[in-house]
Structure 1
Amino acid sequence: MTESDLNRSSQVFGGLRAVFFALAVACCVSPAAALDGLTDQDLATVRVNIVDLLASEPNLPLPVRQRQEALAAYYAGQGGELLWLGHERAPAFIEWMRSAADDGLDPAAYPTEQLVNLSDAIPVTDDRGRAIIELHFSAAFLEYASDLRVGRFLPRKVDPNFFLQKREIDQLAALEELASARNLDQFFIGWQPSAPEYEELRVALGDYRALGQAGGWPQVPMGETLKPGMTDPRVPMLRARLAVTDGASPEAPVGAEDLYDDELVAIVRSFQARHGLEIDGLVGRGTIVALNVPVEDRIQEIIVAMERWRWMPESLGEKYVMVNIAGFELTRVSDGKVEEKMAVVVGKPYHRTPVFSDEIRYLEFNPYWNVPSSIALKEELPKLRKNPGARAAAGFEAVRGDTVYPLTSINWNQYGPGNFPFRLRQRPGPNNALGQVKYMFPNQFNVYLHDTPSKSLFSRADRAFSHGCVRLSRPLELAPPVLAAGGLSGWDIGRVNQVVGSGQRTVVSLEKPLPVHITYFTAWVDQGVPNFRADVYSQDEKLIAALGGQSIAW
């Protein structure tokens, strides 16, 4: 280390020593007076020290060093006024960090008490120490602002099946925006994720925390399935449980306390609907398990959903399609309004539908199904060896180069992994696995939205059955609004049916690609009502572990 390096280190650590000394005597100084003693000249001198520290000091505190480039650009730039000294933002920022739980963040993750102590030291330390205090506040602000806006983790660090694009805040822009904001509250209110779904979850989080503070809800014992009209000593407990969250009357009609009556059945059905259960009014094991999930677990699910909203693109698009894997549902949105919802089938837990955003670029009516190689080898090849004629009758054919081969002309016993020169495909028709239409957004996962001839699965509550693609319950009805959103006119359902009826493969390209978001939310709010779903891919478990500082094997 050179003599100049030693001098610079002596300066910064001298400043730190001054801060620590000031902390020892700060108890004698009123916090309200902390800023009153600083003149404009004092503040100008502090800024000079900040610029010098950021330009030439190699031993800055780690939080400052991690954000040094943005801090230097702000404080050395024209108009880079101090953000904390000489202003009333510091107490407001400390309160925001103390209330971080309101946004599903962890207050313990932020240096709140350290900043309180540094604030107390402002009037009794020197200019070098004040420069360090200002930088500590700005570094903490950037950390909190990043967590609030884009989340605490990169999605793929939490789960390798999350392929959302990496998001970062523009740190310099955040500092400049703070400087121009009327106050800190205005800044942070505008800085949170702008999606209304996030704010709805934020309200739900407060409501469920209040329920937790009030003791949560009572448990309902397991037992025989409750059916409408039955009497059972557990009915009062069921009524008391649903009174907490679903508006059930806590008092039963006199003389019918144990009767599972029609009014309570209707409330159970509503509970089942918002938890993704079979809506049958029967209180069996699955419904009781959902009723008995502790309020603390529901709070965690809301927190996880808020974190995932921070990972979403800043703009979803004026018009877009969103698939919620955990909710088994597609939503079509136009200008902020939900225009349509439909049930979908998603990937099995061992054939997971990936989480990512893309754009629908074209629709293909009467499509061929090009069988993925993994399915061709693991599922189709054993069937071909056993009965190639049956697969041919189902519309399959083999392609090698430009030549199409009948399945019955090939000895399939001589082929296997590492030796499979064919591409299998299924011709358009009533048995085609993709049905009558597919919605294409070419991607590395070979995932898309499509029709299916297997309609019975849509009536189930749990709809994780595909190899990863998303099957639509009403695929042809979706086509006209998607084509219209893509800039094509004249495509009503009549024209769609005419094209499908031709039996000919027809590709229709959108003039304007339509955003599509494949997401994973186990908690959301629908028309003011919190909804919860099972963690079908165990992805909540991973994120909760990460938020708690734990590691988990994928």
Structure 2
Amino acid sequence: MRTVAALLFSLLLIGCSKSQKPADPAASEIRRLLATERGAIQLAQAADSLLSPELLRLFYEPREFDPAWSDASGTLASVDSLRAVVRSADREGLEPREYHIDAIDALAAKLQVSDQEALLSIRAELDLLLSEAFMLYACHMTEGKVDRDSLRLRRSFGREKRWYAELLERAVGSQNVGSTLGSLAPAHSWYRTLRDLLGHFQAQAKIGMSSHVPSGSAIRPGETGRSVFALRNRLLALGDLHPRSGSTSDEYDSTLVDAVRIFQKRHGYEPSGVADSATIAALNVRPQKRVDQIKATMERWRWMPHTLGRKHVIINIPDFKLSVVENGRAVLTMKVVLGLPNWQTPVFSSAMEQVLFNSPWMAPEDIVEKELINYMKADSNYLPSNNMSLWRRSGDSLVRIDPRTINWSEMTPEKIDFFLRQEGGPQNIMGQVKFLIPNKYNVYLHDTPYREDFPKNVRMFSHGCIRLEKPLDFAEDILQQFPEWTRARIDTVVAHKTENSIRLRKTIPVHVVYSTIWTANDGSIQLRDDYYGLDRRLSELMRQTPRR
């Protein structure tokens, strides 16, 4: 009996084995197309080419080149999901045509009418185009279309390539292609509101500008004429002037003054109420330029961490502001002074690790070479009057040197073999407290003795570091991790000029961003000038399409 049962079980297994899904004939065609050693693959059926055969092999080899997007009965539902995502790529500031959408649509149509001889080739090419479109879109959403370091169109995948292949395998395996790609966008309100703004300005760009303010002399309160009428119409179109105020008057009255001030505040200008040249130029910016501005800003956000942290610090360079954010709400906001145009504050993310009170400052080499050496050569009293000293390396230690032993008349940046140190205290360039955020740019958040810059509207005066308007308020907030570090204790340490170092128990994310457009909490559209020219350069790249 047992022998008969075993025989029957074996026959059943053989039957099951024979009933397993046979190899898809398109697999051999996919294998053949991916056999090229390197370079792009020009496709025969599609007027397109595959840019990443190496990445495609990482996906197809483990699945024995089995098609992912179709079977003998036709395309799977995932195809429509991917096509829908790609067609809406412009909502993310990206171009649908860069993800093979034209070739995909053409091949999908061919599937319905082609003979059996061409069908396998069409299925194979369509499968490869869909897979590359998925992974390329995923790369652009997670890392950006433009490489942030080289500022060139991305030619490779910055992440481990296998990550994209595994992401695709999970997406097609679970039939969740659309939701998988949708989850890759930055998850914070800065990005989400930009997506809404992009749609608004894209619609405006199709319509065009309904009004234009003549450039030239400033337009002032009390004036009348066609320029005032144009100014009124433009502010009405932008929403800074309420429609009930009336649009027929050509007088620069108090209502118009208020509207100009609202517009100026939204743009980070001094709210003078006078339509000066900068205000008029901003009024006349075309919607398409705003579209380009938003696309560049969205791209930079894709370079940053996609979640900012429950508690985080964010510094927006064009706004010259810092905010401490907890659970989506700003609990502390202050002005900051940032880098000069030729000493730009970089865009980066890090995590604050340490708070230092009254610590000495070791001047960075480039600041010594480009600036401080000139002060030392011009004034023999510069070092002692600023509580500074010079040091030279001797073995594993630093030895203080007498500046009188240096021939300053022959000193050039190339000959500098010393370090400059400034003692801690209120005179220190870093002020009396600084906050360490490890980064390759040697940038700190810190106090400053130069308080006169904070009332200014445009605050670009540093060598790249971030000077804080309210450093002690900031320290008090950051040091909430330590109950013993009360505001009274902080004030005592500062007053007594006592050196202290506090390593945070829990690091705090710090994001230095460059956003020239965003939506404020009150719903107003905030805009800032492109002080470093980053929007202009990135917009040019975003308009380009990688060569196929």
1:346-357 equivalences in 2 (<5 Å): 346-357=338-349
For 2:234, which of 217, 238, 241 is the aligned residue? 241
2:69 aligns with one of 71, 83, 94: 83
Change (3 A) 1:125 1:68: farther
RMSD: 3.2
Query: Which residue is equivalent to 1:503?
Result: 497
Q: Aligned pair 1:482/2:475, yes or no?
A: no
Distance in 1, matches of 2:172 and 2:330, equals 37
CA distance in 2, matches of 1:86, 1:42: 17
Moved more, 43-52 or 383-392: 43-52
Given that 1:46 and 1:131 are in contact with CA atoms closer than 8 Å, whether structure 2 keeps it comes out as no
Could you tell which deviates more after superposition, 494-503 or 106-115? 106-115
Structure 2 distance, partners of 1:344, 1:277, is 16
1:257 matched to 2:249: yes
Distance 1:185 1:391, change over 3 A: same
* Deviation, structure 1 residue 105: 0.9
Deviations 1:308-327 (A, max 9, x none): 11111233333221222222
1:193 aligned residue: 186
Q: 1:549 to 1:51 in 2, by over 3 A?
A: closer
Greater CA deviation, 348-357 or 195-204? 348-357
Q: Which residue of 2 aligns with 1:70?
A: 58
Could you say if the C-alpha distance between residues 406 and 393 of structure 1 is closer, same or farther in structure 2, counting changes exceeding 3 Å? farther
Alignment partners' CA distance in 2, 1:427 and 1:219: 56
Contact in 2 for aligned 1:50/1:75 (Cα 8 Å) = no
How far did residue 345 of structure 1 move? 1.2
444 and 192 in structure 1: CA distance in 2 versus 1, 3 angstrom threshold: closer
Alpha-carbon offset, residue 171 of structure 1: 1.4
1:206 aligns with 2:199: yes
Task: Check whether the contact 1:63–1:140 (CA below 8 A) recurs between aligned residues.
Answer: no
Structure 1 Cα separation of the partners of residues 22 and 215 of structure 2: 67
CA deviation vs aligned residue, 1:94-151 (integer Å, no higher than 9, x gap): 3433332222111332322211121122244546332332222222222223223332
**SS in structure 1 of the partner of residue 351 of structure 2:** strand
CA contact (8 A) 1:74 1:176 kept: no
**Is residue 2:107 matched to residue 1:121?**
no
Instruction: Name the structure 1 match of 2:452.
Output: 456
Match of 1:318 among 306, 310, 323: 310
Distance in 2 separating the partners of 1:454 and 1:332: 23
Q: Output one character per residue of 1:425-454: Cα deviation in whole Å (capped at 9) or x when no partner.
A: 222333322112111123332211111121
Within the candidate set 488, 492, 500, 2:486 is matched to 492
Distance 1:474 1:228 in 2: 36
Equivalence for 2:336: 344
- Does 2:295 match 1:303? yes
2:507 pairs with 1:513: yes
* Distance 1:57-1:400 versus aligned 2 partners, 3 A rule: closer
Specify the alignment match of 2:215 in structure 1. 222
Residues 1:392 and 1:246: Cα distance change in structure 2 (over 3 Å): farther
Question: 1:292 is matched with which residue?
Answer: 284
Classify 1:212/1:391 alpha carbon distance in 2 versus 1 (closer, same or farther; 3 Å): same
Q: CA deviation at 1:191?
A: 3.0
Work out the CA distance in 1 between the residues paired with 2:37 and 2:378: 72
**Residue identity in the other structure for 2:270:** E
Please give the alpha-carbon distance, in whole angstroms, between the structure 1 residues aligned to 2:160 and 2:241.
45
Report the counterpart of residue 139 of structure 2 in structure 1: 146
- How many Å apart are 1:228 and its aligned residue? 4.0
Q: 1:233–1:444: structure 2 CA closer, same or farther, 3 Å change rule?
A: same
The verdict on how the C-alpha distance between 1:125 and 1:364 changes in structure 2, with shifts beyond 3 A counting, is farther
Aligned residue pairs, count? 503
Give runs of aligned pairs for residues 397-476 of structure 1, distance below 5 A: 397-400=389-392, 402-404=398-400, 412-413=408-409, 415-476=411-472
Q: Deviation of residue 58 (structure 1)?
A: 6.1
CA distance in 1, matches of 2:176, 2:473: 49
Does residue 136 (structure 1) correspond to residue 129 (structure 2)? The answer is yes
| Structure 1 match to 2:16 | none
Q: Distance in 2 between matches of 1:267 and 1:421?
A: 58
Equivalent-residue separation in structure 1 for 2:371 and 2:240 (angstroms): 49
Q: Deviations over 1:262-309 (max 9, x none)?
A: 333222222212212122222111111111111111110001111111
CA deviation vs aligned residue, 1:29-78 (integer Å, no higher than 9, x gap): xxxxxxxxxxx99996256547755886769653462422332156349x
Could you say if the C-alpha distance between residues 525 and 418 of structure 1 is closer, same or farther in structure 2, counting changes exceeding 3 Å?
A: same
Percentage of identical aligned residues = 32
Distance in 2 (alpha carbons) for counterparts of 1:279 and 1:408? 52
How far does the alpha carbon of each residue in 1:211-252 deviate from its partner, in whole angstroms, 9 at most, with x for none?
222222422113443344444542221121111223413465
Inter-CA distance 141–405: structure 2 relative to 1 (3 Å threshold): closer
User: Alignment partner of 2:232: what SS?
Assistant: helix
Partner of 2:90: 101
Segments of 5+ residues of structure 1 without an aligned counterpart are 1-39
Distance 1:371 1:443 in 2: 16
Secondary structure of the 1:271 match is: helix
CA distance in 2, matches of 1:205, 1:425: 49
Cα distance between partner residues in 2 of 1:334 and 1:465: 29
Give the counterpart letter for 2:461 in structure 1. Answer: F
Aligned-pair CA distance for 1:182: 6.0
* Alignment-mate amino acid for residue 281 of structure 1: G
Superposition deviation, residue 524 in structure 1: 2.0
Aligned in 2, Cα 1:459/1:86: closer, same or farther, shift over 3 Å?
same
C-alpha distance in 2, partners of 1:181/1:337? Answer: 36
Q: Which amino acid aligns with 1:392?
A: P
Q: Which of the residues 361, 365, 374 maps onto 2:357?
A: 365
Residues 432 and 41 of structure 1: is their aligned pair in 2 closer, same or farther, counting only changes over 3 Å?
A: same
What is the rounded CA distance, in whole Å, between the counterparts of 1:134 and 1:380 in structure 2?
Answer: 61
Pairing partner for 1:333 from 301, 325, 331:
325
SS at match of 1:131: helix
Distance in 2 between residues matched to 1:264 and 1:506, nearest whole Å: 54
TM-score by length of 1: 0.81
Task: State the TM-score, normalized to the length of structure 2.
Answer: 0.82
Letter in 1 for 2:57: E
* Map of 2:5 onto structure 1: none
**Distance 1:191-1:41 versus aligned 2 partners, 3 A rule:** farther
Structure 2 spans left out of the alignment, 5+ residues: 1-18, 44-49
Larger displacement relative to structure 2 (446-455 or 43-52): 43-52
Q: Distance in 2 between matches of 1:43 and 1:183?
A: 25
Look up the match of 1:45: 24
Q: Residue by residue, what CA displacement relative to the aligned partner does 1:478-530 show, whole Å, maximum 9, x if unpaired?
A: 1122223xx43332322211111111222111122222222222222222322
Conserved? CA contact 2:240–2:263, under 8 Å: no
- 1:459 match: secondary structure: coil
1:523 and 2:517 matched: yes
- Cα 1:125–1:175 shift into 2, 3 Å: farther
Work out the CA distance in 2 between the residues paired with 1:491 and 1:508. 10
Whole-angstrom distance in 2 between the partners of 1:41 and 1:133: 25
**In 2: Cα distance, 1:198 partner to 1:387 partner:** 50
